[in-house]
Each structure stands twice: as structure tokens, then as C-alpha cells.
Amino acid sequence: MMVCEYKPGLEGIPAAQSSISYVDGQKGILEYRGIRIEELAEKSTFLETAYLLIWGELPSKEELEAFEHEIRHHRRIKYRIRDMMKSFPESGHPMDALQASAAALGLFYSLRDLHNPAYIRDSVVRLIATIPTMVAAFQLMRKGNDPVRPRDDLDYSANFLYMLNEQEPDPLAAKIFDICLILHVEHTMNASTFSARVTASTLTDPYAVVASAVGTLGGPLHGGANEEVIQMLEEIGSVENVRPYVEELIQRKAKIMGFGHRVYKVKDPRATILQNLAEQLFAKFGADKYYDIAQEVERVVEEKLGSKGIYPNVDFYSGLVYRKMGIPTDLFTPIFAIARVAGWLAHWKEQLAENRIFRPTQVYNGKHDITYTPIDQR
């Protein structure tokens, strides 16, 4: 039998062939279906980009209108899901609430017809449409309020911000939020996407696929880092404190949150776009001292660790953008999930098209031929 070298974290080992997205970590390039992220952020919308990723081509005007129409009319959640969510503890993390709710959707749509394009489309529409409603509903219910019904006259991002804050958002804030979703929708074979593909490969339903990916996204080394960036900036507290704080972290070999990436060895192109969006928000709604602190952190980290390829990643500036929009810190990762669900679904569809169940091997490093010791002799 062939003996393969064990690579912790499967670093550098291809887990799938995929035509969904591409990263060049040396040049700082990210493409969705061959289109640069900068171009999509400037010209597209989240739903159009989701369509592109899932069906492989930009939609025609009619196709996009039909897709948007379907999403708009599937945003409501069943009252039983809402009642189930009401019984969740308000102290629970919204990612856990989202994972449970996404899995529960599968109870209502248990018919599994994976070879039927209509089933694929219905599942895609239902998941993209209801995940934001579930995130907003949990947020209101944990504050003791009733969830707000989605508004059919608002587009995808404006409706989410409306459901979250119970008021219509500023158009610039809604536009910037939509761009944030584009920036987070897909990123090659990361941990949650891998998790989605492993689950998909068993031919289970798409709700289980998304629920397992949500669970994976929740960890601080993946989607949870932008929460920790905000905590770090608050702890630093002033521009003068930045240098000693960063030096102390480097000295004890601690990780600086929002920096470093397995693939990017230059500044993440999404961080550059997010920084620009943050500046637009500050110009309209007032400056934020944490942005000054963040810029100084970037300067000091680049000076100290730039030679190692440690630069800001997507999480460094996204928290500042969401914070300026008044979004609570523990909703940052659920918002990441609202975007990434479309990427996971693109991988679900791609996995089904040429499926083989994931069944890797392991390097056994345990014992052999041990005799059983009766309990009274241990």
C-alpha cells in the first residue's frame, strides 16, 4: 500500500477540483468564476454574485429578476421555527442559534431529490432567503421583542438591516452591507467549505450541509476572528498603546487577530476594499477612534511581521464596518454565514455533480495487541 506523508491541517493537499473561485496568495488576487472581486464589489450585487457562483454564469436580466423575486417571496420563516427559536436561551451565541435553526429547516423539507434541478433551486432559494430572517429573528427575540416581518419592497441587504434594527437603513449603509456580503460569499477550500463538501458527499440534505458548515465557521480561527479584532482594538484603547501592545503579543508569540492567512502572503484584497468602505462610512456618519488605532496596528504589524507575509486579512476591517452600522459584535460571524451560505451551496451543487464520498485515511500512532484488564485489576 502507498504510504503518504501526513500533513497537519491537510496543508497543500487538494480536496476537490473546483471552478467556483480562485486565489493567488502571492499577488493578492481573488476571483469568483474568473471575475475579479474588485469588479464584482464595484458593479454587482450580492444576489447576482450568488447566482454567478451557484450556476456558473452571470444571469441575464430576466434570470436575475426571477431569482430576486423568488428570494423576496421566501423570506418568511414558519411560525414553528420562530417558536422553536423563542425557546433558545437568550445567552446562547447567535451562531449556535443559526446552526440549530438551519438544521431544523430540514425537518420541514424532508423530501430529498438531489438529482432534480428544481429541488436544487428550491433549496438554494429557501436557504439564501431565510438565513437572514433567522439571524434577525434571534437578535430581536433575545432582547425580548417579537421578530419583524420581512418587507417585500426592500432589497436583500436593506431588508436584513430593517429586520435587525426595526427601521429602514440608510441607503449607503445598505449598499456597503451588500458589498460586504459579496466579499464574504466564497473563498476556495476553507474549513467551512470543506466541511460542507464532506457533508454533501454523503448525499444528505442541503440543510444538514449548511448546518455543518455554520458549525465550522463559528470557531475563532475561521469566521470568529473579526469579533476578536474589535475586542483587541478596545483593549488597546489609544493610538499610543498600539506599539507596546503589538510588541508584547509578538514577544510571547501570540497571534494578532485579523492578521495572517494560510493562502495570502500579501494584504488580502478583501481587506483593502473593506478599509475603503469603512472610510466611506466614517466620512458620512462620523470618525471612529478605533479606525485610527486599527491603522496604527496595521503599520506596526507590517513593520514587524511583513517580512513573514503577515498582513491584514478579511476580518481586520470588517468588524469596524459592522460596528459603525450598529451591529452587535456577536452577530459578525452570523453575517459572515448569511454571505457564505451561497458559496457553500455552490460547492454543494458542484460536489453532487461528480460525487465520491470523502473517506480519507489516517496515520495510526496508537498501540497494538494490548490485553484487556478486568476492571477490579486496573
Ligand X SMILES: CC(C)(COP(=O)(O)OP(=O)(O)OC[C@H]1O[C@@H](n2cnc3c(N)ncnc32)[C@H](O)[C@@H]1OP(=O)(O)O)[C@@H](O)C(=O)NCCC(=O)NCCS
Residues identified as active-site: 261, 315
Q: Closest approach of Cβ 105 to ligand X, in Å?
A: 27
Residue of minimal CB distance from ligand X? Answer: 260
Let me know: does 323 contact 287? Beta carbons within 8 Å.
no
252 or 367: CB nearest ligand X: 252
Residues 295-334, interacting with ligand X (CB under 6 A): 305, 308, 310, 313-315
From CA 39, how far away is CA 32, in angstroms rounded?
A: 10
Is residue 260 within the footprint of ligand X (CB under 6 A)? Answer: yes
CA-angle at 159, arms to 154 and 162, nearest 5°: 115
Indicate the burial class of 157 (C-beta count within 10 angstroms; 0-12, 13-18, 19 or more): buried
Q: In the numeric block, which cell numbers belong to residue 159?
A: 431588508
Is residue 183 within the footprint of ligand X (CB under 6 A)? Answer: no
221 or 283: CB nearest ligand X: 221
Rg (alpha carbons) of the chain, rounded to whole number: 22
Is residue 271 within the footprint of ligand X (CB under 6 A)? Answer: no
Query: What is the residue whose three cell numbers read 491537510?
Result: 10
Q: Closest approach of Cβ 344 to ligand X, in Å?
A: 16
Q: Closest approach of Cβ 18 to ligand X, in Å?
A: 19
Q: Closest approach of Cβ 333 to ligand X, in Å?
A: 11
Pick the stretch among 34-42, 52-60, 251-259, 356-364 that binds ligand X (CB under 6 A): 251-259
314 or 346: CB nearest ligand X: 314
Is residue 221 within the footprint of ligand X (CB under 6 A)? Answer: yes
Is residue 262 within the footprint of ligand X (CB under 6 A)? Answer: yes
Q: How many helices (H) and strands (E) does the chain have?
A: 16, 3
* Residue from the set 158, 214, 236, 256 that interacts with ligand X by CB under 6 A: 256
* Cα distances (angstroms) measured from residue 261 to each of 255, 257, 265, 313, 365: 11, 11, 7, 7, 30
49 or 313: CB nearest ligand X: 313
- CA quadruple 261, 263, 267, 268: dihedral positive or negative? negative
163 or 182: CB nearest ligand X: 182
* Residue from the set 120, 246, 257, 327 that interacts with ligand X by CB under 6 A: 257
* Residue from the set 218, 258, 269, 343 that interacts with ligand X by CB under 6 A: 258
Which residues are within 8 A (CB) of 370 and not within 5 positions of it... i.e. 6 or more apart? none
CB atoms within 10 A of CB 284: 12
Q: In the numeric block, which cell numbers belong to residue 261?
A: 492567512
Q: In the numeric block, which cell numbers belong to residue 19?
A: 471552478
Q: What is the binding site for ligand X (CB under 6 A)?
A: 221, 225, 255-262, 305, 308, 310, 313-315
